Amino acid sequence: MQDMNTKIPKIRFAKFSGEWKEKRLGEVCEIISSKRVMSKDYQENGIPFFRGNEISQFSIGKQIEDLKNLIFISQNLYEKLN
């Protein structure tokens, strides 16, 4: 795992260089609560659906592969909610 204080990541996306720019989550997306996703809508695979717990885990440096019990929704539900 990379040191959270470093400004230059070890793994890069193509065409990206330089230092990280730290931003608050609300600066890069709108944070909303979706009460329209019910447990009956969960699937074994599909589009990952992140609840507050998963977002909290990301904020302390966890990666998606570190998370347990991920929830997925269908592409159709995603498009309907999007």
DSSP string for 31-68: ----TT--GGG-BSSSEEE--HHHHHHHHTT--GGG-S
Is there a domain that residue 44 lies in?
yes
Q: What is the mean pLDDT of residues 1-18?
A: 73
Instruction: Supply the range of the domain harboring residue 54.
Output: 34-81
Spatial distance between the Cα atoms of 68 and 82, rounded to a whole number of angstroms: 25
**Which amino acid does the sequence have at 32?**
I
Choose between 22 and 75: higher pLDDT: 75
Residue 24 lies in a domain: no
Count: domains in the chain: 1
Q: Is residue 19 part of a domain?
A: no
pLDDT in tens, 38-71: 889 999 999 988 877 777 777 777 777 777 778 8
Q: Is 63 domain-assigned?
A: yes
Q: Which residues contact 71 (CB under 8 A, 6 or more apart)?
A: 42, 48, 49, 50, 51
| Residue 26 falls inside a structural domain | no
Q: What is the dihedral of CA 11, 32, 71, 56, to 10 degrees?
A: 50
